[in-house]
């Protein structure tokens, strides 16, 4: 459901169901994503997301998507991608200029990519991988034309202009 609505900002979250598959973990391309510790976004979830994003677009809102498993190649190690990331990206891209960023985890090293529609995909590094004297967190500021991520420890500070 909707996590927060603040002025022109709406945040959404979705969860993935896991299905176990065996695959060679040495594969370094997106085909390596077919492992049991990932998952897919189901048809009902995709339909809900389509509807919510269209409503946000119709209202002129900007949207940040959050979830656990990354959605964009390049934002994480390929083995960590959502199984049906292509379908999810199609839904996000169907409302140009509405989705401004996706924040995920899962890949403990973290990562960052901008997709073909200008959506920022931030994979936040895992705190559990930090030594005792380090950290991994950030503060996100929302402006009319951009997001400012102020990183601490392993989280990189970034300016994320809206598409």
Q: How many residues does the chain have?
A: 163
Residue 14 has pLDDT above 50, yes or no: no
Task: Round to whole Å and give the CA distance between 31 and 21.
Answer: 12
34 band by pLDDT with thresholds 50, 70 and 90? low
Question: What tens digit of pLDDT does each residue of 67-83 get?
Answer: 999 999 999 988 889 98
d(CA 131, CA 78): 25
Longest dimension (CA), the chain: 47
- Dihedral sign for Cα atoms in the order 6, 67, 2, 117: positive
Rounded to an integer, what distance in angstroms lies between the CA atom of residue 37 and that of residue 76?
14
Contacts of 76 (CB under 8 A, 6+ apart): 70, 104, 106, 107, 109, 110, 111, 123
């Amino acid at each position: 459901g909707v996590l927060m609505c603040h002025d022109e900002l709406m945040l959404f979250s979705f969860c993935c169901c896991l299905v176990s598959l065996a695959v060679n973990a040495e594969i370094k391309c997106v085909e390596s994503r077919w492992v049991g510790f990932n998952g897919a976004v189901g048809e009902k979830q995709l339909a809900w997301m389509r509807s919510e994003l269209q409503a946000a677009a119709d209202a002129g809102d900007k949207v940040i998507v959050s979830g656990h498993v990354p959605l964009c190649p390049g934002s994480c190690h390929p083995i960590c991608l959502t199984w049906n990331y292509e379908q999810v990206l199609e839904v996000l891209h169907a409302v140009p200029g509405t989705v401004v960023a996706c924040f995920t985890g899962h890949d403990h090293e973290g990562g960052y990519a901008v997709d073909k529609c200008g959506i920022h995909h931030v994979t936040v590094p895992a705190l559990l991988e930090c030594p005792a004297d380090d950290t991994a967190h950030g503060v996100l500021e929302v402006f009319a034309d951009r997001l400012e991520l102020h990183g601490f420890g392993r989280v990189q500070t970034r300016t994320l202009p809206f598409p």
